[in-house]
Structure 1
Amino acid sequence: MASTPTTTAPAARSPNANVVLGMLLFAYILNFLDRQILGILAQPIKEDLGLSDAQFGAIGGLAFALLYSFFGVPLAMLADRTSRSGVIAGAVAVWSGFTALCGTATSFMQLFLLRLGVGVGEAGGVAPSYALIADYFPPQRRARALAIFSLGVPIGLGAGTVLGAYIAEYINWRVAFIAMGVVGILFAPIFKLVVKDRPRTMGSPQRLADLFAVFPLIGKKRSFWLLAFGASLSSLCGYGLAIWIPSVLIRSFDMSLIGAGQFMGSLLLLGGTIGVFMGGWLADRLGTRDRRWYAWLPMIAWLITAPLYALGLLSESLWLVWALLLIPNALNILWLGPVTTAIQHIVTPPMRATASGAFLLINNLIGLGVGPLLIGGISDALRETYGADSLRYAALAVLGVYFFAALLMWFAARRLPNDWVEEAPAC
């Protein structure tokens, strides 16, 4: 077969970039649906399987993050060397299959192992998606495109919370897992049929040489490490709070499962959607003038997030709690567009998925692996003193981490202009 078509400039746009973005967004929504459904189902799962807060925290974070983090880099490398769209489609099928199997678990160990499988599947989804978006969208539109893709986080979190609550209340928690898994299994072949890679020089010697230079390259760039560890500390709080706040509402405010689902779902959908979109829009506008805004934006957001979360968690009126938590639910994930865009520009285009995989390894191992487990462990330790409110105070205890995340972003802003790789205009 002739090799010349793979070396041409990316002129053949099939499918349309917006269609690709829409398909990637839906896959990312499924990704977070499968993650967040566990949070709203915490109480019925704990009661059914007899779990402590620490055990559930391990299932909600550590079990998922262990293999998710470590498989992310090799699967990103595979995507850079072969087909990014193919790796994503396979990942959707694998994580959806394991999500469905979670509905059959009868013990802590079974559910822990099945969540490991979900993590392996989801490891192949995000980093290749970042790279595919960077292939389809020019630099001046890239932060907004990545922000639209990142809307999968609040939409998936919010929808997973609401749908999970209704299914668990009217049927049972096992059906919720099975239903979410089946949707993903059916979507995977449709994704593979519609989404195609942009033409690129697949497998050339120079391309492989560049690939194996990724890790030494990012190892020398301080901005990469500062962005990665700053985002991971923010994710430690964000993932932990997303998993546990529904249980705080049930325990400390005597809300029903459906009430907690509606309350948290509305916060995540409204606040999160605004925050993610604003982050991408502001990054495109401000980042073209000064690269440091890609780090300054999340820094400012996190400095506001922590005190507002604290005020919301300490309030007694549910209306006041909702109003106070709305803003930090927006600012908490405003970083997604700016930071993921900056990571794409620290390396050359052939290295993007692999660099994103390295970033996600750090972000998810610390953020997702530690956050839910840490809050659950603190809650168990405080149980004798605070009773049902132990989870509320455990959530408050981790909020100070946001200030350390903001400090790292301040340092990242100083290094980012020097580490930025300018992209040659498309032919």
Structure 2
Amino acid sequence: MSQDTLVKRQFGHRARLALSPAEVSKTDGQAHAARTLWNCLHAWWQMMPKDKRTLAAADAAIRQARKEIDFLAVLPAQAAQAVLKTYHQAWKNCWEGRADAPNFKARFRAVMSVDIPQGRDLNIVRVHRRWGMVNIPKVGRVRFRWTKDLPVGKRADAENRITGARLVKDVLGWHIAFRVQALQGRPDPHQGAEVGIDVGVTVPLALSNEDHQDHGRPPRLPDGTADRDKWLTPKEKAKLLRLEREAAHRKTFRKRGEKTSRRLRHTYDQIKQLRAKATRRALDWQHQTTTRLARTYGVIVVEQLNITNMVKSARGTVEEPGKNVKAKAGLNRSISQEAWGRTVTMLAYKLARHGGELVKVPAPNTSRRCSACGTITPGSREDQATFVCKNPGCGFEANADWNAARNILHLYRIGHVIVEVPALGSRGRRAGNTVKPAAAM
């Protein structure tokens, strides 16, 4: 295979670690030291004049802090350097308008993580079919679940290797996320059909060819309110309700300023486990669905949605209070649960892996326009689930999501494709989007 047909790809793989109580304590200590180092670095950055906020000065400050504070010595030196690089990158993202300014990390709200920037320090070995061994600096050799073939041993070379990893803790315990670099063959252009997709709440993914993807979980309860625990079984929902009531009851006995009791922390952990189970089920459905779509279709067209603006609260102000605040809050919760942005991200990299293409088109009026006659007639969307064209010469009637998906595909076919403008505005934010014909791309 020639070099022209090869492409270098970088992806991640997450595996669960099997740590002993002593190893968990050591890893927790490293994570707390990394968070403390971040907070010290942030305090130093705010106190220093702007002309002295350099990487060299920050590196010297970190080295001095590790000498003076014994608690920070449990963190490996390379992991401390990774904290500095991550912090500096956070400021670069802020300056370029991609994120907000970095802030202090709270003990209980921040994600516990430790970076291992050098892949050669891992020394990964496969023990047998289900388990592998990895070296964690200042912790030792630990086991992890082997669920994916990794480029280790004789399979590793300069182009196919593990470049680093990150230790991350969630409610299920510690996991290791490997950063993998692989040289793979460039996929042939996908010969599948074109399809438009409209994301929604009632129908998660409505396709223009009526091959709708539904996870079978109703978004609302019989009383009309949003079901935020739709990925749990009725038995699990009852258990979650009981635990939340217990936590609320036990919280009334805690005085202001007192530490959370062990019993209350245990109840919180049980609630987190149920929430994590629901999140894993939703993520698993998204992965399976997007993989199936990427293998089936060559071009997938979606809307360019500003989800952040869509889920803004309707509460308003004291002078001008909002209307239908409770209903809007339920809709916002349902939109957040469907994770439309994550679905589009999955489709983007999976289509690229299979030789397909993801295209975005403008979102305005895709749900109000009739896909049969192309007109926008007031009153066509009186029913949220059904589209009935009020044009006297048309009368087209169909599912509202399917009608929108057909409009999305039609916009792509007539050339209304969104092209991201690389130029940045005066404050570092994107200047905007433009529309170009598909043939000009």
- Of Structure 1 and Structure 2, which has the larger fraction of its residues in helix? 1
Higher relative contact order (CA 8 A, sep 6+): 1
- Of Structure 1 and Structure 2, which has the larger fraction of its residues in strand? 2
Q: Is the TM value for this pair above 0.5?
A: no
TM-score (norm 1): 0.25
Structure with higher Rg: it is 2
